[in-house]
């Protein structure tokens, strides 16, 4: 039972456009009551950004709200319908099986943000699941989302993790928790697929119009093909950002692709250590479908599924619609190349353009791969090399440096043609090549201490370090250095659902 009547007065200014405008796209639903909500982690800074009274929320009342026990006034909890291609196969009905959208608020920057509970109990979309979440994966989502945010990558963020006081069964009994997630929206490619598989063109049109209004307002009244191109460009930009920092999402199913262009659904994601495009961490991705190097191609595959849903809106003539969609999809490669090359050139310290720059990038990647170089630190320590100190760069190559030896003089000669002081170039490079990322062994250590020993010091320290990833400082050296092969060997991540 929800204790709405006990509400003390924490104010949310909800404005629930999805519930209001998209009747038929969701089921109103209540969170399951939990026995003993208790604060685990609160994102004060994000609460302030949302215009919420953070102090009033970090109370028992707040824990009651963020566990789902209290529905704050103005909220309208709904479970959103969606479908999706999971590992290549269509599931016509997924939906919020363990999540509830409480509503939307307009943040301090005028942006509309969804506030969603994750792990709040069963909904009509739960299928065989229990609708619940364990505390470990929810803390992981909190941490990874914050890491991405501070790296400057569009992402959903966690506002709160509240322990429920009950156990959930995942092979073994684990403490349960509810995560509160803040997102530009939860509209996914899978949301479009839900109506496409039902041949419900009118709902598709309503959804497209709503999505355009919310995320691509400059395209209101324009042909839908422009919407398709814009969604594609935003995905290209997002994936390029992932590739720049070695982020591996792990479950790029179409239900985990947000139309807003934010990274969403932190399950088995992880950052790559030494550079190898074949890197996969997820225990359920045994074929490497979502390997690091495949992410651009998978994004394009996902966009093809999106384009298929849009066909009836593109043109009345279906041949013409297919032709338009195909042309739009082809531009993804160009869009990705454009985003990636702009970013990666900055990572290499290049501002001027030369014909051989793409080869220079590719050859650095080849050198890293041949030398088992740490992806993060190899990029980072290039700045030292630009200042004539290649020692640290060399030190993060574990083996063969012959390719690096060939490459360095070429790159230094190219940098000389930038006609800028080395110090200036290096400083610019350090602004785009992070010093710290969430290293897998440190993430696991922090989660273990928190969930097994109830010791949140390592988690909070790691979170603090990751809030400033581009500044090198002695105090965080141990967070920055690469893991030993023993620490990384056979590392696996799990969905935790």
What span, in angstroms and rounded, lies between the C-alpha atoms of 396 and 398?
A: 6
With binding defined as CB under 5 A, does residue 265 bind Mg ion? yes
Q: Of 351, 375, 358, 355, nearest to 424 (Cα)?
A: 351
Catalytic residue check, 64? no
- Return the residue of 98, 113, 380, 403 that touches ligand AMP, per CB under 6 A: 98
46-79 burial: b if 16+ Cβ within 10 Å, else e:
bbebbebebeebeeebbbbbbbbbbbbeebbbbb
**How many C-beta atoms lie closer than 10 Å to residue 316's C-beta?**
8
With a CB cutoff of 8 Å and minimum separation 6, the contacts of 486 are none
331 binds, among Mg ion, ligand AMP, none (CB under 5 to 8 A by kind): none
Catalytic residue among 64, 255, 265, 374: 255
The minimum distance between CB 270 and ligand AMP, in angstroms, equals 16
The minimum distance between CB 251 and ligand AMP, in angstroms, equals 6
Write the CA distances from 442 to 306, 447, 470, 476, 483, integer angstroms: 37, 9, 18, 12, 9
The minimum distance between CB 23 and ligand AMP, in angstroms, equals 21
With a CB cutoff of 8 Å and minimum separation 6, the contacts of 436 are 376, 465, 466, 469, 476, 479, 480
The minimum distance between CB 361 and ligand AMP, in angstroms, equals 33
Phi/psi zone of residue 34: left (φ > 0), alpha (ψ -120 to 50 degrees), beta? Answer: beta
- C-beta closer to ligand AMP: residue 47 or 117: 117
Using CB under 6 A as the binding rule, the residues of this chain from 115 to 144 that contact ligand AMP are 125-126, 129-132
Q: Of 107, 104, 51, nearest to 80 (Cα)?
A: 104
Q: Are 195 and 207 in contact (CB under 8 A)?
A: yes
Using CB under 5 A as the binding rule, the residues of this chain from 113 to 142 that contact Mg ion are none
What span, in angstroms and rounded, lies between the C-alpha atoms of 458 and 375?
A: 24
- C-beta closer to ligand AMP: residue 86 or 331: 86
The minimum distance between CB 402 and ligand AMP, in angstroms, equals 43
96 binds, among ligand AMP, Mg ion, none (CB under 5 to 8 A by kind): ligand AMP
The minimum distance between CB 357 and Mg ion, in angstroms, equals 38
- Return the residue of 94, 314, 377, 382 that touches ligand AMP, per CB under 6 A: 94
Candidate ranges 225-233, 258-266, 381-389, 402-410; the one touching Mg ion (CB under 5 A)? 258-266
Q: Are 156 and 145 in contact (CB under 8 A)?
A: yes
Using CB under 6 A as the binding rule, the residues of this chain from 327 to 386 that contact ligand AMP are none
Phi, psi of 167 (to 5 degrees): -100, 150
Candidate ranges 60-68, 96-104, 355-363, 454-462; the one touching ligand AMP (CB under 6 A)? 96-104
Using CB under 5 A as the binding rule, the residues of this chain from 197 to 256 that contact Mg ion are 256
Please list the active-site residues.
255
**Residues of this chain that bind Mg ion (CB under 5 A):** 256, 265
Q: Which residues bind ligand AMP (CB under 6 A)?
A: 94-98, 125-126, 129-132, 251, 255-256, 265, 267, 495, 497
């Amino acid at each position: 039972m929800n204790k709405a009547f006990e509400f003390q007065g924490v104010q949310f200014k909800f404005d629930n456009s999805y519930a209001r405008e998209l009747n038929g796209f969701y089921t109103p639903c209540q969170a399951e009551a939990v026995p003993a909500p208790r604060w685990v982690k609160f994102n004060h800074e994000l609460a302030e950004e949302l215009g919420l009274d953070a102090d009033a929320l970090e109370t028992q009342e707040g824990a009651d709200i963020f566990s789902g026990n209290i529905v704050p006034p103005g909220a309208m909890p709904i479970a959103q319908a969606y479908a999706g291609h999971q590992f290549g196969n269509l599931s016509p009905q997924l939906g919020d099986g363990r999540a509830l959208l409480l509503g939307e608020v307009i943040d301090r920057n005028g942006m509309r943000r969804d506030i969603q509970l994750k792990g709040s109990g069963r909904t009509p979309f739960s299928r065989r699941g229990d609708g619940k979440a364990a505390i470990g994966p929810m803390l992981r989502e909190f941490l990874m989302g914050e890491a991405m945010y501070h790296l400057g990558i569009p992402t959903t963020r966690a506002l709160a993790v509240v322990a429920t006081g009950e156990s959930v069964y995942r092979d073994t009994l684990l403490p349960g928790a509810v995560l509160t997630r803040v997102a530009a929206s939860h509209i996914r490619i899978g949301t479009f697929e839900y109506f496409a598989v039902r041949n419900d063109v009118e709902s598709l049109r309503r959804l497209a119009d709503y999505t355009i209004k919310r995320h691509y307002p400059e395209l209101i009244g324009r042909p839908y093909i422009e919407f398709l191109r814009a969604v594609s460009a935003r995905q290209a930009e997002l994936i390029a950002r992932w590739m720049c920092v070695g982020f591996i999402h792990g479950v790029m199913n179409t239900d985990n692709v947000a139309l807003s262009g934010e990274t969403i659904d932190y399950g088995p994601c992880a950052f790559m250590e030494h550079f190898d495009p074949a890197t996969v961490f997820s225990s359920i991705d045994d074929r490497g479908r979502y390997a690091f190097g495949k992410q651009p191609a998978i994004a394009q595959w996902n966009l093809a599924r999106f384009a298929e849903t849009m066909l009836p809106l593109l043109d009345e003539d279906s041949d013409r619609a297919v032709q338009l969609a195909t042309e739009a999809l082809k531009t993804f490669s160009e869009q990705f190349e454009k985003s990636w090359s702009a970013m990666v050139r900055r990572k290499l310290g290049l501002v001027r353009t030369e014909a051989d720059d793409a080869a220079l990038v590719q050859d650095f990647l080849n050198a890293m791969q041949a030398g088992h170089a740490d992806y993060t630190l190899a990029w980072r320590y290039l700045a030292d090399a630009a200042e004539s100190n290649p020692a640290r760069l060399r030190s993060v190559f574990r083996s063969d440096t012959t390719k690096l030896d060939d490459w360095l003089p070429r790159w230094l000669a190219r940098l000389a043609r930038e006609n800028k002081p080395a110090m200036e170039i290096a400083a610019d490079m350090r602004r785009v090549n992070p010093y710290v990322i969430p290293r897998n062994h440190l993430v696991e250590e922090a989660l273990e201490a928190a969930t097994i020993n109830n010791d949140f010091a390592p988690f909070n320290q790691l979170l603090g370090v990751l809030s400033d990833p581009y500044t090198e400082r002695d105090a965080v050296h141990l967070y920055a250095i690469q893991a030993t092969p023993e620490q990384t060997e056979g590392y696996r991540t799990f969905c935790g659902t």
